[in-house]
Structures are given as structure tokens and as C-alpha cells.
Structure 1
Amino acid sequence: MPSVRQVKSLTLLAMCLGLFMPQLDTNVVNLALPSMQSSLHTDIGALQWIIDSYNLTFASLLLLGGTLGDLFGRKRLFLIGLALFTGGSLICAFAGSIALLLVGRVLQGIGAALELPGTLSILTATYPDPKERARAIGIWASVMGLALAIGPTVGALFVNTFGWQSIFFMNIPIGLINFGIAAIFVAESSHPQGRRLDLPGQTLAILCLVALTYAVIEGQARGWFSPLILAGFGLAIISLAAFIIVERRTPGAMVPLDIFRHRAFSAALAIASMMTFGMYGMFFLISLYLQSIHHASALLAGLQLLPLSIVFIIISPPVGRWISRFGPRPLMVAGMALMGVGLLLFTLLTPETPYTFLVITMAAIGAGVGLNTSPVMAVAVGSLPARSAGLASGFGNMARMIGATLGVAILGAILAGQLSAGHGNAFFMAGLHTAFLVGGCGELLGAVLAILYIPRMLQSETADERAVDRAPTLLEL
């Protein structure tokens, strides 16, 4: 029989692998897009759906996954989510059509939404000692940085050597091994007190996000004023209005609307969305640029993205101390501004742009992401009472995924719009420049919001420390 210490270590391993798989998957899929486009004979719109079918599903079901775990058992939901994510990976690996690939991606998104919310709660229950818990959460959080660092290179190596299907195949053995570890060694836990399902609110939220994303991605192909696209935008607006009405009248609503009265909390969510709006949109666009215009292999493209990952990993560790010393506002302003400037610099890209320019720009964006990630969650968590820390963290992650979904949808639609006018490098670069201009302006708007609404210092040292410990979850996927 394994000792208590060994059981704790195996539980930590299971939770780390549960975080690592979706994070790695997100990083490598972007680099596989050109290969998928060639193999499946598809267009930009379909490539957007390959990314956003996952992002959209995850964003829509994230809060539901946390609620189900509290009600019915976190281990149970972790195992169900892990099985769905692994099964979705298997479908993606064998997909011979875009439709089957999207089915697999949706299953991956559902699995991630059920699996990930409970990982931090399971570790909290497994490590009752505060010092042990802090160490375990630190290791768990560092996995995100590891996946960000090795994801582009490892994924590109697999795509270059074995084809795009291999990035999904590699999830399967990891998923099966992790399922066995979690099933045997992870203890069950739940916290149903005060928790209830809000199915009307959940349904309306999904309807709003799906309708909006569909209208944005398909608008160029079907016509922005076609009945179907106008109906999509209309449905999104109606669903949002109905969602607000339902949540106001529902006891124990999925989204307690009164929390948005806290200006700093609302601003932090908006800034988190703007951060991932530009970042995920940038990953989508720059992967296509490097391989379609620069004619880089998947492996070379992955290596060319490394400066962003390296600078992010260097910048991130001391940020927690900087929050305590300088407060979140200057870090968030600097972070969003660096990301905005980096994306605006990408409007200068040409087919002949030297790699030195890419290194400098990627490093600036990586520094911006590193400076902003911890403070934005610190403000979100620290702006609400301590009893609402988990709720604030969940909303931070949901805001991030909504921003990621809209970033790929909107910036990709801008590129697709230019390509619909003609083919060739000139049309691609025109669309790329416009998309990066919009993305860069979005990041700079986030910097302005930070100046106006983010407090100079956090409300309390306790809130600060709690938020900093949770901060890396903002980029879990």
C-alpha cells in the first residue's frame, strides 16, 4: 500500500497532467492549422472553427463544470472530463473530414470544462496543511508555464515528423495513464452546500455565445446582411437580454449580477478578455503567416514562437512580489501596452520581414502577457469578499476563454474578408495588417481601462496573496 505522502504526490501528478494536456493541446493546434487546411481542403473559416469549437465549448460550460463537481463529486467530474477529452482526441486523430474533427474538438472542450475546475479544489482537499498546499499549487501552476514553453516546439516536431494527427494521438496514452492514477489514488470530495444548477441561465449563456460566434465567423462567407447572419446576431442579443432577466430573478443564479457592481472586478474581467482576445487571435494569425507566407516548416514556426514563451517564463515568477510592492495597476498598464504595441508592430510585417524583428516583437508580447496575467486575477479575486474567491477565479477564466473565442473569430474574419477579395500574398498581408491593428487597439484599450478603473493597491494583503497563488490559472488552457 502506498504511503499517505505517495498518495498525495500521485494526486498532484494527476491534477498536473489534467492541466498539462489541454494547455499543450491549445498551443500545438495553431501550428498544425496549415497542415490541416491542406489535408482537409478547407478555408480560413473552418480553421477558425477548429480553434473556436474548443474555446467556445469550454467557455460556455466552465462554470457548470465547477458546479457539477461541487454537487456530485470533483473526482467523478474530473474522470468524466478526462475520458471525454481523451475520447475527443481519439476522434480528432482519426478525423478524415472537417465535420468529424469539429466533433472531436467539441468533445475535448466539454471534457476540459468538466475536468479542470475541480483540480484546484481537489488539491486543496488533499493538502490541508497550508505550507504543503502552497507548494502543491505552485507546482500545479508551473505546469502551465512548462506547456507554454515546450508546446510550440514539441507540437511542431510531431506535426513535422508524423503529421497533424499526431498532436491528438499523443494525448491518448497520457489520458489513459492519468485516468488510472486518478481513479485509484485521488480521493472524492464535494461541497454541495449552497450550490444548485441554473439550467435556464446556462442554456441562455450557451445560446448567446454560440449565436455570436457563428455570426462573426460565417458572416464573411454567407454575407453580413444575409438573413441567417442577421438572425445569429439577433439571437445573441435576445439571449443576452433574457439571460440578464433570468439571472436577476433566480435565487442562487449561475452569475450573481450584483458582483459586477464592483468596478475593479468588472474592469479586471474586461481586461482579461482583451488580453486573450489579442493573444489567441495573434497565435492563430502568426501561425498562418509563418507557414503560408514565410514558408516555414511547422518545426521552424514553433521555434520562431519560442521568444514569447521564454520571456513569459522569465517575467512571471517575480510578478507576485511586484504586485505587493508596486500594486497591480502599473503592471497591468505596462503589460497591456506592451501587448498592444507588439500587435501594432505586426502591422509592419511583409513577406520578407527578418526574424530579428519577429524576435523583438514576440519578446515584447511575452513580457506583456507575463506582466498582466497575475495582476489581472489578483484584482478580480481581491475585489470581492474572501468567501467569493472561487467564484471570482471562475469568472476570470470564463472571461479569458470568451476573449479567446472572440479573438479568433473576429480577427480571423478580418483576414477571411480580405482573402475573399482575391488570392495571393498582397491580399493576405492586407488582411493580416488590419487584423493586427484591431487586436493591438483592443490591447491598448485594456491599458486605458487599467489606468481608469484598476486600484493603485489591492484591498488587503490576504487578498493579494490568495490571488497571486491562483493567478496562473488564468492561462490554464
Structure 2
Amino acid sequence: MVNPFVGFITNRIGYDTPLFCGFCFTFMSAVMVTLANSYALLMVARGLHGIGSCCTSVAGMGLLADVYPDDYERGKAMGFAMSVMAIGLLGGAPFGSVMYQFTGKEAPFLVIAGFALVDGALQLYTLKPLKFSPRNMPLPPYRALLTDPYILIAAGSLCICNLSYGILEPTLTIRMMEYMCSPRWELGLAFLPSMLTFMIVVNVFGMLAHKIGR
């Protein structure tokens, strides 16, 4: 829901401010989870985390595309960024399960909050999040985007890819607990092979796409 809105905002005020907003929402979400004592509060925290993820991913990828106009360099930059994203997305599962088992529920989110603070400090030092830098590029209407066959193919492929991971995330862990009596630290490790292969392949295909076409 928030992704298209963030894309619109980046065109109006630049990339720096949405990136910094992503840090703020992520930090607030991590702190809220450590303090949460109800399902409703956890839902709010997850909602804030989703908004922070939108701000970071949309503005971050847009910034990379803007900084690297050359197609080959852009492919390499996107591949590297996606591999680091894989570390966070898929590596978070084994990291969180091990810490949850041996240090408690709050510890992994306190670590995330600490990382977010470092990220926010680096953004303040490197970027200009408090100063708007409008780009004023003409935006195509959403109707044109939704009828573009290339966008539909890319969006559909991304949907199927993330749907498979979304199905595995809640079902695999429950099945491991019910049928394999797995301890908590093993639940996240089941996603480790996915992270490793993703990191390798996403860099290879960035360069391969430039050579043979996407």
C-alpha cells in the first residue's frame, strides 16, 4: 500500500528524506516489539516496520538507479544491494531464532535498534535528509503502468517469488515444531540455504543480464 506513495514522494522531495524516514520507522518498530505485551501492539509495530521497509527499499533503489546511469554499472550496483538485502531478509531468520533461544525475545530487536541508530547517524553524515531535493521528473499515470506488459510480467514474477517465501515463513517453522520437535534456534537456520544461494545468484544474474538481456 505504501510503496507507490513513497515512489511519488521521492520524485517530489528527493531520496534522502524518505531514506531517513525509513530509519525512523524501523527504529520505532524495533523498540515497540521489545516493549510489546499484546497482539495489537505487535501488529502496530509490524505495520511501522512495513512502512520503514517501503521507504528504505524504494528510495534506496531509486537512488542507486539515479547515481549509476550506465546500464552495466547499474546492474552490478543493484545486484550488490539485493545481496545485502538478502542478508537482512533471510539472514534475519537464523540470527533471530538463535538469539531468541539463548538471550530472550528482546535481544534481537535491541540489536536491530542499535544497527538502525548507526544507520541513521551515517545517513545524517552522508546524505541531507533534512533538505528537500526535488527532481521534478514527469511521472507516468498509474493506468499506463498497470497496462504496461513488461511491468505486469515483472510484478507478477516478483509476486510469485515472494509468495513462495511468504508461505514458507509461517508454515515451515510451525511444522518443524509440531512434527520434528525442533528447538527454537533451528527454526531460523532452515532459511540459511536460501540466503546463501540468493546472495550468489543475484550478483551473477546482474552481470549476466547485461550480456544476454533480461
Matched, 1:174 2:118: no
Tell me the equivalent position of 1:301.
Answer: 187
CA separation of 1:87/1:129 partners in 2, compared to 1, >3 Å: closer, same or farther?
Answer: same
Number of aligned residues: 211
Q: Tell me if the contact between 2:30 and 2:45 (Cα under 8 Å) persists in the aligned partners.
A: yes
What is the DSSP-based 3-state SS (H/G/I as helix, E as strand, rest coil) of the residue aligned with 2:2? helix
Partners in 2 of 1:272 and 1:117 — Cα distance? 15
Q: Which runs of 5+ in 1 are unaligned?
A: 1-59, 196-251, 328-460, 465-477
Q: Which has the higher contact order (CA 8 A, sep 6+)?
A: 2
Give % identity: 19
Whether the aligned pair in 2 keeps the contact of 1:95 and 1:101 (CA below 8 Å) is: yes
Query: Normalising to structure 2: TM-score of the pair?
Result: 0.81
Give secondary structure in 1 for the equivalent of 2:26.
Answer: helix
Query: Which of structures 1 and 2 has the bigger CA Rg?
Result: 1
1:369-388 equivalences under 5 Å are none
Displacement, 1:77?
Answer: 1.7
Mapped partners of 1:110, 1:290: distance in 2: 30
* CA 81–264 in structure 1, closer or farther in 2 if over 3 Å, else same: closer
1:130, CA displacement in angstroms? Answer: 7.4
Superposed CA offset, 1:63-102 (max 9, x none)? 1012112212321121122112211211111101111111
1:4-19 pair list within 5 angstroms: none
The answer (yes or no) to whether the contact 1:87–1:107 under 8 Å persists in 2 is yes
Candidates 176, 179, 183, aligned match of 1:290 = 176
Alpha-carbon RMSD: 2.9
Q: Which residue of 1 aligns with 2:157?
A: 271
The question of whether the paired residues in 1 share the 8 Å contact of 2:27 and 2:117 is answered with yes
> For the Cα contact (< 8 Å) 1:65–1:115, is it kept in 2?
no
Please say if 1:122 is aligned against 2:66: no
- CA separation of 1:108 and 1:138: change in aligned 2, threshold 3 A: same
Relative to structure 1, the CA distance from residue 139 to residue 180 in structure 2 (aligned partners, 3 Å threshold; closer, same or farther) is same
| Partner SS, residue 170 of structure 1 | helix
Corresponding residue for residue 54 of structure 2 = 113
Task: Give the alignment of 1:30-429 within 5 angstroms.
Answer: 60-126=1-67, 136-148=77-89, 150-187=91-128, 189-195=133-139, 253=141, 255=142, 257-320=143-206
Contact 1:62 1:114 (C-alpha < 8 Å) held by counterparts: yes
Cα pair 1:123 1:133 within 8 Å, conserved: yes
Residue 151 of structure 1 deviates from its aligned partner by: 2.5
SS in 1 for 2:86: helix
Measured against aligned partners, the alpha-carbon deviations of 1:302-349 in whole angstroms (never above 9, x if no partner) come to 223323333334444433566577x7xxxxxxxxxxxxxxxxxxxxxx
TM-score, length-scaled by structure 1: 0.40
Shift of 1:138: 4.0
